[in-house]
Chain A
Amino acid sequence: METTWYLVLSAFIFAIGVSGVISRRNPLVVLLCLELMLNAGNLALVAFSRMHGGEAGQVFALIVMVIAACEVVIGLGIIVAMYRNRLPIDIDEMSELRG
């Protein structure tokens, strides 16, 4: 199998993640779709690393995983804080930036 297939797969997973971020209203599911997008990036990185024959891409993917973990932690912390303050768990309710 060629690198191209992995890349095409990565593109589709990314697209699915993006559409999820836009269409879902539950912030938990939005975060999950964010994870999808990060994973698609990881897949592309590892595919390129195999194409070049060097492990730099894999190291990069490792770091991305670390970042994803941190981001999930903070995002979930925010959602828990929202829940504690009796705010509705709905992204559309957070519209204070409305101009």
Chain B
Amino acid sequence: MSATSYGWLVLAFPLAGTLIIAFGWRVLPGRVPGWIATSAIFLAFLSSIGALLDLLDRSEEERQLVDTAWTYASTGNFKVGLEILVDPLSVFMCLVVSGVSFLIHLYSVAYMGGDRGYARYFAYLNFFVFSMLLLVLAGNFVILIIGWAFVGAASYLLISFWYRRQTAVAAGIKAFVINVIGDVGLVIAAFLILDNVGSLDFLPVFQTAHDHFATNDSTIVWACLMLLVGAFAKSAQLPLHTWLPDAMEGPTPVSALIHAATMVTAGVYLIARMHPLFELAPTAADIGAILGCATLLFAGTVALVVTDLKRVIAYSTISQIGYMVMGVSMAAYSAGLFHLMTHAFFKALLFMGAGSVIGAMAGIQDMDRMGGFRRAMPFTFVTFAIGALARAGFPGTSGWFSKDEILAFAFNRGGWYAVLGVLGYVGAFLTAFYSFRMVFRVFYGNAVPEAVELESGHVAHGEPMNPMTGEPEDTDVGFPGPEHHVAERAWPMKAAMGPLALLAIVGGYVAIPGVDNVIANFLEPVFADSPLAQDEPSTGAEWLGLVIGGAISIVGIGLAWTIYLRRPGTTARLVERYPWAHRFLEHKWYFDEAYGALFVRPFATFGSFGRRVIETDFVQGTIVGGATGVVRVSTSFARAIQTGYLRAYALLLLVGVAGLTLYFLINSS
């Protein structure tokens, strides 16, 4: 079978999974929907491997294959079809997406047990994976936009999965609205490209882009800026990032899948895929790099003070994607995508570990109430620590290799990009610090009552309530189920976290500078047309960067150890001394308040004005009332004639006869 057939299979399995679960949920008992979904994704993963093997069989020039299922529209010389593009980049993304999704599905089989919406969850999750794979395999702008929109819809469905929780529904709406802003940007970019190039298919556009646009032509710059809007909305970068922390209202595996490993990386994939266009518009690429850098610093500072466990990980995601965006904007494509892969591993692992801890805490997510879980949950502790080390870029972990490769590229480009590199190292320091802030606060220190209960073998059980607001809930459909699952007790969760921990450690060894460069070599056919990407830093420069990065991470971990373990109470003193800084960071630099005042409140006012004045008075009163009033008045005369009296009718007859006779008399004389 050729690679494109494997490509269609990759899409078909998750779609089949969704449909089977969606239509058959009444007859599938217990955990069967979960196993169906997991096997669907596993089959998709196998198909991706099939596609990979087929691609490797071919020579390097023949590795970009396009296949069209059918043509939607064909007018003149413009054709749009259901087209997939199977090339190293899309196969790479497919492998990452389907592999990590498979492990997360496995985790969810146990984690979501007992929830009344079990089948619905897996149907949505499979639909999400299908959409993401569609996005990644898209061969033209139309399919890309379709996948993009589906992914946004699936994200909304999964964030507001516990739909009776007000905060979850509000978060889902917020995510969807911001995603739509991105969709608009993407569509406008597609229009601009279609207008100037005349085609929407990727390969023709990329190959002829330099014929249609001069470098830094204003059209291509605007098109790339619109693409950036789309990418930033999906990947939660400044200024469209506000939805991601709120999206933690969804179940933890959803956060792992969508908001760590796959959906938020769609923006990075987009920039990498559109790299010929971005290289024609260096202005836009530079803006992307600067915003990526700003994002990673912003998110890093906020992650220092946030106390909700999942939100710390969310801000860290924003920050890490800032690295990736910065990387691919600076033409460090394979480095950025390599970091995407390793980030998928350790971020999913961290979320899974957080899910296990939250299960032990009976649903509470506040780190202030956690502590000392080290003895009660050894497996979770070890895997969580591995994830944190990878994120911090500890020497030897995959995160170390990937993050510092990006920064080495930055220094290699020179000029003001070196400033971005320095800021990247500052961000790395912050990352190391807050990663271990999490580890030390949750697993070290005095054991809280829930941990003590767990040590004696009994998972804590609290009153069901909303972890953010404390409102009481129940455990029926629309709210989380009554069971709480801990990794030590549920083998699917262990089976999922184990491989990820392993990958978080060894995953970096595919790209050791000077030794092997598997990823860059594999992706080379895609980026062969980019002169900037060929300009790789030397092995020595990369090793220097790695050493600096490793040192910074060790310093950061050490600082966290000092503040949280050696001298507890330091944070309290710092908060006392700099209350305004603490408040600024706690309110996430007041972005939500600013957006609320600038956009939400004017629109809400206009909406209520519309309902009160325009709808009621203008439309109902004037237009509708006016139209019916005119009809009523004009027919009242006709109605007045229908008196029902025979004599009146006879009189009318007589009047008519008199009139007619008069007319004929006058006419004939």
| Interface of A toward B, CB cutoff 8 Å | 18, 21-23, 25, 91-92, 94-99
**Which A residues are CB-close (under 8 A) to B646?**
91, 94
State how many angstroms separate the Cβ of A91 from the closest Cβ of chain B.
5
Q: Which listed residue (B644, B650, B654) contacts A96, Cβ 8 A? A: B644
Which chain A residues border B605 with CB–CB below 8 Å? none
Q: Which residues from B are CB-within-8-Å of A98? A: 642-644
Bound CA span A92–B648, Å: 10
Count of B interface residues, CB-CB < 8 Å: 10
Least CB separation from A91: chain B residue: B646
A24 to chain B, nearest CB (A): 8
**Could you say which residues of chain A place their CB within 8 Å of the CB of B639?**
99
Q: Which residues of B contact A22 (CB under 8 A)?
A: 647, 650-651, 654
Besides the known contacts A25-B647, A95-B645, A98-B644, 20 further A-B residue pairs in the complex with CB atoms under 8 A apart: A18-B654, A21-B647, A21-B650, A22-B647, A22-B650, A22-B651, A22-B654, A23-B647, A91-B646, A92-B645, A92-B647, A94-B646, A95-B643, A96-B644, A97-B642, A97-B644, A98-B642, A99-B639, A99-B642, A99-B644
A23 contacts which chain B residues (CB < 8 A)? 647
Please indicate the chain A residues that have their CB under 8 angstroms from the CB of B644 in the complex. 95-99
Bound-complex Cα distance A23 to B647 (A): 7
Interfacial chain B residues near A21, Cβ < 8 Å = 647, 650
**Per-residue A-contact encoding for B619-659, CB less than 8 Å = 1, 0 else:** 00000000000000000000100111111001100100000
Which residues of B are found within 8 Å of A25, using beta-carbon distances?
647
Closest to A25 in B: B647
**Chain B residues, Cβ within 8 Å of A97:** 642, 644
Q: Which residues of A contact B650 (CB under 8 A)?
A: 21-22
Task: Give 9 nearest A-B pairs by CB, closest first.
Answer: A98-B644, A99-B642, A95-B644, A97-B644, A22-B651, A22-B647, A22-B650, A91-B646, A95-B645
- Quick check: A91 and B642 within 8 Å, CB to CB? no
B641's nearest neighbour on chain A, judged by CB, is: A99
CA distance A96 to B639 in the complex (A): 14
Whether B645 contacts A91 by the Cβ 8 Å rule is yes
In chain A, what residue has the closest Cβ to B638?
A: A99
- B642's nearest neighbour on chain A, judged by CB, is A99
Chain B residues whose C-beta falls within 8 Å of the C-beta of A92 in the assembled complex:
645, 647
Complex CA–CA separation, A39 to B654 (angstroms): 18
Residue of B nearest to A99 (CB): B642
In the bound complex, CA of A91 to CA of B648 (Å): 11
Distance (whole angstroms) from the CB of B211 to the closest CB of chain A: 75
Contacts of A95 in B (CB 8 A): 643-645
Task: Report B419 CB to chain A, min CB distance, Å.
Answer: 86
Offer 27 A-B interface pairs, CB within 8 angstroms, sorted by A.
A18-B654, A21-B647, A21-B650, A22-B647, A22-B650, A22-B651, A22-B654, A23-B647, A25-B647, A91-B645, A91-B646, A91-B647, A92-B645, A92-B647, A94-B646, A95-B643, A95-B644, A95-B645, A96-B644, A97-B642, A97-B644, A98-B642, A98-B643, A98-B644, A99-B639, A99-B642, A99-B644
